Amino acid sequence: MYTISKTMVTGFALGDGMDTERQKDGSGLPAFGRRTFLTMAAAAGAAVFLASHAPAVAAAVADADKKILWLRGAGCGGCTASFLNGGNPDILAAIENIRIELSYHDGLMGQQGIFIDEKQGNTERFNSIARMDNLINAGGYLLVVEGAIPNGPDGSGKYGVIGSRIRNGQIESLTMKTAFRDAAENADAILAIGTCAAFGGISAAGGSATDARGVAYTGSSRFKGIMGELGMKKDVINVPGCPPHPDWLLLTIADMVTGAPIETDDYRRPAAFFREAVHTSCPRRGYYDDARRDGSLAEGRCLYNLGCKGPVAYADCPVRRWNAGASMCTQTGGPCIACVEPEFPDAFSPFFSRIEDRNLLGGINIDTGAKIILGGAVLGAGIHAVKRIAIGDSDREEEPPKEKGKRGL
């Protein structure tokens, strides 16, 4: 069966229950210490949580003062766009609350890489590559990876170049693969954000021509991540989503900078966000249970027959909602495409084909009379089996790698 594995980012022991200790100052606010913001805040949402608990968070992370080195590989920039949608009133305030310093992010930083003939121009005050080098040399940062890491052609990584650098007196291309290797080596912790960095995602779909990889995984295979390719063993937390919700990012970052333990599932996703199927709390669930399922788009009822993958996608979108609670995919009539799952997108497309037509249920026809009467119960009983079929079987994680059949259905 599907189990939650407890993973620790750092050497801290798992905290005890969050409500067993109160702050000594009599404020009644929970003390944070090494307890996880994430578990406590999961229900509230990062925006609300960080606003109402800012002093406590600040106290907990007072000596953390973590720098973030954020690398971007092959992707669309949507993860950064989603990150900018976070916080209350804005992401700048949230960063302030968590006390982190976004030291390197090529989409947001003031500096740029500058080279004059075969020399590096300027210092880290102006030069982004100098800044990256200094960060890596100093170590002790949180490495955030956005986008997949191209391995091609022929393992050179040159399909993904993110800058230049000087080596042996000459200017040369810095590939994402090399930058990741160097930065991961000295990182305190690694966070892969978005489905591309976590699992390869869109960038690795359909036997990608660039041989793009996730950080620790490609698809559901732990052996095909870029770390496997590089022979590295480091713990990685995955916050997938295409793009990921900003709350998922902020709360996970908040926990990681304090070194709090993060409970994760088999794919190293924080369990607090990726435990329940989208279908479980979908705003259109009532229509599903009443068997009122739309046959064409924009009719306003359950999207199951239009190909909704909510029953096999595990994320708290319906409870959390997106963009400060504005809406979410199925609420607006778009089928869930399971954008958080390791085998996204291949296992879930054609997006407008029903789950059983994708053979995800192993022959169970959930549209039978019994199913309709029992509503979600039957599906619920089979859900873990379904999930394994959909996202891949991770029981064999510790076995030597072997070629798995393509799960693209």
Partner 1 sequence: MVRIVIDPVTRTTGGLRFAAEMRDGSVVDARCSGTTYRGFEQMLVGRDPMDVVYYTQRICGMCSTPHAIAAAGAVESLCEASGEVPKDALVIRNILNGLAWIRSHVENLYLSFLPDLADPFYWELLKFSDTGTALYGELASRFNVPGYASAVMTAPGSAYADAVRCVKLIGETEAILSGRSPHGPAIVPGGVTARPTASDLSRLKSNYAAIVDFLERRLTAPLSLDQWLANTHAGTPDPNYILDHVNALPLKDLSAGKGWNDMMLFTVFGSRMMSSDFLALPVYIELDTLGGYPLLDQLIGFLNHGAFYRVRDGYAPLDAAQADAYQVAPGFTAGSLQNLFASAESPDPARIAEQVGSSFYTYSGAGLAVPPAGGETIPAGSAADIDYAGQKYSFVKAPRYGGVPCEVGPMARMINSREPFIFNIMKMLHDSNSRFAAGKRYTMTSVYTRALSRMQETLVVARWLGDWINNDLEVHDSARRYCVPVTLKSGRAGACLTEAPRGMLGHWIRVDHNSRIAGYQIVSPTTWNASPRDNETRYGPMELSTIGIKTTPRGNMPGSEANPLSLYHIIRSFDPCVSCAVHTIRGK
Binding site for ligand SF4 (CB under 6 A): 278-279, 282, 284-285, 288, 302-304, 308, 310-311, 313, 315, 317, 328-330, 336-340
Q: Could you tell me the smallest distance in angstroms from the CB atom of residue 316 to ligand SF4? A: 8
Q: Could you tell me the smallest distance in angstroms from the CB atom of residue 130 to partner 1? A: 11
Tell me the residue number closest to ligand SF4, measured at CB. Answer: 310
In this structure, the number of other CB atoms found within 10 A of the CB of residue 377 comes to: 12
Q: Which is nearer to ligand SF4, 133 or 289 (CB)?
A: 289
Q: Which is nearer to partner 1, 156 or 281 (CB)?
A: 156
Q: Which is nearer to partner 1, 32 or 344 (CB)?
A: 344
- Decide: is 78 part of the binding site for partner 1 (CB under 8 A): yes
Q: Could you tell me the smallest distance in angstroms from the CB atom of residue 244 to ligand SF4? A: 9
**Smallest Cα–Cα separation from 340: which of 315, 319, 322, 358?**
315
Using CB under 8 A, which residues numbered 155 to 194 contact partner 1?
Answer: 156, 158-164, 171, 173
Using CB under 8 A, which residues numbered 9 to 68 contact partner 1?
Answer: none
Q: Which is nearer to ligand SF4, 313 or 347 (CB)?
A: 313
Residue 172 contacts residue 164 (beta carbons within 8 Å): yes
The encoded tokens of residue 47 equal 């925006």
**Smallest Cα–Cα separation from 252: which of 263, 267, 266?**
263
Q: Could you tell me the smallest distance in angstroms from the CB atom of residue 76 to partner 1? A: 4
Q: Could you tell me the smallest distance in angstroms from the CB atom of residue 151 to partner 1? A: 11
Q: Could you tell me the smallest distance in angstroms from the CB atom of residue 103 to partner 1? A: 7
Phi, psi for residue 117 in degrees, rounded to 5: 50, -125
- In three-state secondary structure terms, 292 is coil
**Smallest Cα–Cα separation from 66: which of 270, 252, 263, 273?**
252
- In order, the DSSP letters of 188-200 are SEEEEEHHHHHH-
List beta partners, residue 173.
Answer: 164
CA dist 7 and 366 (Å) reads: 35
Residues 6+ apart with CB under 8 A from 16: none
Using CB under 8 A, which residues numbered 84 to 143 contact partner 1?
Answer: 84-87, 89-92, 101-103, 106-117, 121-122, 125-126, 128
